[in-house]
Amino acid sequence: MSTITSVTTTKTSTPTPRQMPIRSAKTCYWFLRASAFNLCFYIISTLFCIILLPVLLVPHKLMMKIIHLYLHINFFLEKYILGLTYEIRGAKNLPQDPPYIVAAKHQSTYETLKLHFLFKNPAPVLKKELLNIPLWGKYLEKSDVIAIDRSSPKAAIKSIKESALRVTAQKRPIIIFPQGTRVSPGTGTDEKPYKMGVTRIQNITNLPIIPMATNAGVYYPKGKWCRKPGCVIFEFLPAIEPSKDRPAKQTLKQIEDVVEEKSNALMNEAYEALHKKQSRQSFLRILIISILTLFTIYSTYWFYSAHIVKTAYINWIEDTRLNNNAAKINSSHLRIYGYPGKLHAALPSFNIQTQEGMLEVRNIHTASWPFPNKPIMFQTENISVTPIYTQDSIEFDSLNGSFKLWENTLDIENTQLKREESSVTLSGIIKAPNNPSAAPQINMDIVIKNYSPFLLELVQRKIVDQKPAMIASIVLQAFTIEDEIHTNVTTQGNSLFLGPVHIYDFP
């Protein structure tokens, strides 16, 4: 189109859009998406050109339906691979019925791929040489475009006149790119001036000219591999009606001014949108990285805590065996699980035998978040205690509760030992002494419910003598409130007291 006419006008450079800096990481991401799109685009375009050769023999209307199928497939790829869509503004400025002339800003291939979305059966103006492109040129010729013969000015004017009148008679919109070629964003009209061809067509057809601005070059740049996600805008501006009193140069200048001003504004809008999108994505990227970092730290800490728990349990067993030669411990494998939630520890069975007797516990289970000072929930099933002085064991149904362990202090919260209808509930602290030979410091509240049947059974099984049992029963009655005993367990020196009653001396 650059030789449609030899007449040009004096131009001044219009303000160019301000491009925002784009980070290299974002460019790399866009490059990968663009590479996937380009691969699909070229493969599908080649297949359509080859496989659909028979459609060149069908009527124009049917062929255009197939072309529309190709264009819709391409739009699908743009939308879901590139993340690129488009928006139409100023549609009210388009006449309801063609014919009319559209003087469009041409920045990339994107506009030509969207002509059939913007207009019904458009007739784009292009140079005749494009019809010589293998296969593709045949489809252009079949779609009945306005091909300009640029072999000489006389031939160009003749081809414009004949084609413009033919398309006008067909009541089709005429689409012309006044600069005659694709113009990259930032290129001024002094480098790529507007040509007089558009005014010649208006003089021939007496049709209104609808200027069309766009920012397609920002997202779909000319001659570049990388395309960007976003929204291309096509904006139609108020019509320039034909007038015999207005010089052609004035008409062209008017087209140039409105198209360039609006296109630059749209390009600035596009750059700002890309910058904001990048800022939002940068924030999301930082947020995601932060979450992943915190999750990695948490995961490391979780598994480290699991290792500490398991190691501490194994070391405790070994220390017990070394420090107490008479102790015999039989324990099943400690299982740690629950990631990424609470840290659970399960022990199916545990048995320890010492000089004082034997303790056997079934299905010990603990759970806690692996953070400092978090309560550790625990529960067991059957507990069997066998004192050394008797072969009869004392059976309990379960032990449930929670505790906190910090430094050398065990803080017990609502821990309940149950046996049939009887139960003992403990809350308080047990502080380990600094001196291994000293007794622990104990200060706990205790609630005993329905103790009489249990005490009677201990006497009948000769685990406890009758006289101490009677004394204990009388003492406990003093603390009974509504069938429950409320008292405390404390230590004074090496002595253990239940309320005011001395019940045990630590070695």
| Secondary structure (DSSP) of 221-242 | -TT-S----EEEEEEEPPPB--
Is the per-residue pLDDT at 12 higher than 50? Answer: no
Q: Which of 35-39, 60-64, 283-287, 336-340 has the highest mean pLDDT?
A: 336-340
Torsion over CA: 310, 311, 312, 315 (sign): positive
Is the per-residue pLDDT at 5 higher than 60? Answer: no
> Which residue do the tokens 């207005």 mark?
246
pLDDT given for residue 7 in this prediction: 32
The partner residues of 495 in beta bridges, in order of sequence, read 492, 505
**Residue 340 preceded by cis peptide, ω within 30:** yes
d(CA 489, CA 486): 10
Q: What is the pLDDT of residues 206-225, one digit of tens each?
A: 999 999 999 999 999 988 88
Lowest mean pLDDT among 5-14, 228-237, 268-277, 304-313: 5-14
**The tokens of 134 are what?**
């293998």
d(CA 428, CA 488): 9
pLDDT given for residue 2 in this prediction: 33
Q: What are phi and psi of 404, to 5 degrees?
A: -120, 140
Q: How far is CA 467 from the centre of its chain?
A: 73
d(CA 298, CA 311): 19
Q: Which of 21-30, 156-165, 373-382 has the highest mean pLDDT?
A: 373-382
* Mean pLDDT of the chain, nearest integer: 84
Is the per-residue pLDDT at 56 higher than 90? Answer: no
Q: Where are the beta strands (DSSP E) in 247-389?
A: 328-331, 335-337, 343-354, 357-368, 376-379, 383-387
Is the per-residue pLDDT at 131 higher than 70? Answer: yes
Lowest mean pLDDT among 219-223, 325-329, 380-384: 325-329
286 versus 92: the higher-pLDDT residue is 92
For the chain, which residues make up each domain, given as ranges? 24-280, 407-507
Is the per-residue pLDDT at 24 higher than 70? Answer: no
Angle at 463 between CA 457 and CA 465, to 5 degrees: 90
Contacts of 83 (CB under 8 A, 6+ apart): 33, 229, 230
**The tokens of 20 are what?**
């925002």
Q: What is the pLDDT of residues 474-496, one digit of tens each?
A: 766 766 766 778 888 898 888 88
Expressed in angstroms, the distance from the first to the final Cα of the chain is 108
> In 94-112, which positions are buried (b, 16+ CB within 10 angstroms) versus exposed (e)?
beeebbbbbbbbbbbebbb
In which band, very low, low, confident or very high, does the pLDDT at 368 lie, cut at 50, 70 and 90?
A: very high
In which band, very low, low, confident or very high, does the pLDDT at 10 lie, cut at 50, 70 and 90?
A: very low
Q: State the average pLDDT over residues 116-124.
A: 92
Q: State the average pLDDT over residues 295-323.
A: 88
pLDDT given for residue 19 in this prediction: 57
Question: pTM surpassing 0.85?
Answer: no
CATH 3.40.1130 fits 24-280, yes or no: yes
d(CA 481, CA 448): 10
Percent of the chain predicted with pLDDT > 70: 87
In which band, very low, low, confident or very high, does the pLDDT at 13 lie, cut at 50, 70 and 90?
A: very low
pLDDT given for residue 11 in this prediction: 42
Is the per-residue pLDDT at 1 higher than 50? Answer: no
**The tokens of 32 are what?**
């990968």
Q: What is the pLDDT of residues 67-108, one digit of tens each?
A: 889 999 999 999 999 889 999 999 999 998 999 999 999 999
3 versus 428: the higher-pLDDT residue is 428
Phi-psi region of 68 (alpha: psi -120 to 50; beta: other; left: phi over 0): alpha
pLDDT given for residue 54 in this prediction: 83
Lowest mean pLDDT among 84-93, 129-138, 196-205, 264-273: 129-138
Q: How far is CA 1 from the centre of its chain?
A: 47
- Tell me the CA distances in angstroms from 17 to 30, 179, 314, 438, 454, one per residue in order: 21, 18, 71, 83, 91
pLDDT given for residue 256 in this prediction: 95
Q: How far is CA 14 from the centre of its chain?
A: 42
Torsion over CA: 98, 104, 106, 110 (sign): negative
